[in-house]
Amino acid sequence: QAVVTQEPSLTVSPGGTVTLTCGSSTGAVTNGHYPYWFQQKPGQAPRTLIYDTNNKHSWTPARFSGSLLGGKAGLTLSGAQPEDEADYYCMLSSSGDDWVWVFGGGTKLTVL
Amino acid sequence: QVQLVQSGAEVKNPGASVKVSCKTSGYTFSGYYIHWVQQAPGQGLEWMGWISLNSGDTKSAQKFQGRVTMTRDTSISTAYMELSRLTSDDTAVYYCARDHGWHWGQGTLVTVSS
């Protein structure tokens, strides 16, 4: 089973831009891993921001975007707001017959 | 809109089993998969497994194999996750989520304590 890696913590200034990344121990992350990004605030259920690499839900703020970059999945926040301070988790699917899903360890994003 | 409503908090003794329900609405029940996710206190998210709401086929993470049973009742658009042989390590919030965009339930706190 793959290990999915994320930065443990990042800090961004209000109005600033930051990119969170999501790597896989098995090699480059591709669209075939169907990367997901979730936001979780204390005491709340996770909320899906991005699915299938770069697709947004109706509730996803426009300042969030998903991509593939340098063999990893990325979540870019452009114009950070104080309410974006949260934990962010990525998730990847294994391809093939298993259809096992693996979460990354999460990134604690501080807006300061 | 898609909604997933989970059953309420549970307190169980070590060695017991717990069954969490996830009632869905707002879409055609059978066309999707439901995933289950564990989150221990202060920890990250851990994928437990999925169930096909159409066929009833299941797949679970290696960590939970042999202890987790996922079922569904199509007549009431509800999925279930039963975890057996509970230990204190199973104290966690359990979430269900529907695939194709991952729509989440509100979570169910399961406390394992004697």
Residue B31: predicted pLDDT: 85
Measured between CB atoms, which of A45, A87, A99 is closest to B105? A45
Residue, of A46 and B101, whose pLDDT is higher: A46
State the Cα–Cα distance between residues A58 and A65, nearest whole angstrom: 13
Residue B101 contacts A, CB cutoff 8 Å: yes
For residue A101, give the chain B residue with the closest CA: B47
Dihedral of CA B34/B39/B45/B46: which sign? negative
pLDDT band at A96 (very low <50, low <70, confident <90, very high): low
Q: How far is it, in rounded angstroms, from Cα B31 to Cα B104?
A: 16
Give the tokens for residue B108.
């169910």
Longest dimension (CA), chain A: 44
pLDDT in tens, A19-72: 999 999 999 999 999 999 999 999 999 999 999 999 999 999 999 999 999 999
Residue A97 has pLDDT above 90, yes or no: no
- Mind telling me how many Å the CA of B77 is from chain A's nearest CA? 21
What band does B29 get if pLDDT is binned at 50, 70 and 90? confident
What part of B 64-93 touches A (C-beta under 8 Å)? none
- The SS3 assignment for A105 reads coil
Q: Which residues of A touch B59 (CB under 8 A)?
A: 98-100
Q: In this prediction, what percent of chain A has a pLDDT beyond 70?
A: 97
Inter-chain contacts counted by CB atoms under 8 A, chains A and B: 49
For residue A99, pLDDT beyond 90: no
SS3 of residue B81 by DSSP: strand
Separation of alpha carbons A103 and A1, rounded Å: 11
Average pLDDT, chain A: 95
B105 vs A91: CB contact, 8 Å cut-off?
A: no
Confidence band, pLDDT 50/70/90 cuts, at residue B27: confident
Mean pLDDT confidence for A70-78: 97
Over the stretch B58-81, which tens digit does the pLDDT of each residue have? 999 999 999 999 999 999 999 999
- Torsion sign over Cα B49, B2, B106, A78: positive
